[in-house]
Amino acid sequence: MEQQEYSITRYSIIPSDQISGQLSFGTKSGVAFTKEEAFKSVIHNIKVNTHKDIVLKKEHVEEHYRIYFINELSDGMVLLQFAKEKKITVNQVTEEAIEEVKLPDYPNIKIIINYEKQYFFIQNNRNLATTKSIIKNFEKCIDKCIFQSDSAPFPVIRSSVSDISKHPFPEPMQ
């Protein structure tokens, strides 16, 4: 089994009394649920639908992301795949000339979520971005999934980005 380097960080979820009544996951508005249930509901929705396409608007640019549910590793741990669309230029040969063509590319990483201890294990991949920006973008994508809006009234998931440590980790079985 190949060893992959993963960064580990803790995440926290805002208190449920701040989100009660503002979110609905197939429940009536105002019905109490825990903050953990709100987060798990998003992951469950991704699992049911296999993946989630998310567009984040940053200034005058749209960034396209995909989150795939890969596997449930145990009762409290899941494996996700997180990708950001980038355009790559390839040179295509035609009868008249060689032309540049832009194609979509999806550099990606795996994220293991431990619900019980509230850890993100983030596979390192410099082709995608720095670990800190991956975490921030993943959190924004989760916020957008929860609120189903481009502008969340407040962040739901935040990790201690300054508390990232790197560890070798065996590649998860798929």
pTM of the model: 0.73
Residue-wise pLDDT tens digits, 100-116: 999 999 989 999 998 88
Residue-wise pLDDT tens digits, 81-101: 999 999 999 999 999 999 999
**Amino acid residing at 106:** Y
Residue-wise pLDDT tens digits, 52-89: 999 988 888 899 999 999 999 998 899 999 999 999 99
Is 50 exceeded by the pLDDT of residue 162? no
Q: What's residue 168's pLDDT?
A: 53
% helix, strand, coil for the chain, step of 5: 20, 45, 35
Q: What's residue 40's pLDDT?
A: 81
Mean pLDDT of the chain: 76
d(Cα 110, Cα 114) in Å, to the nearest integer?
Answer: 13
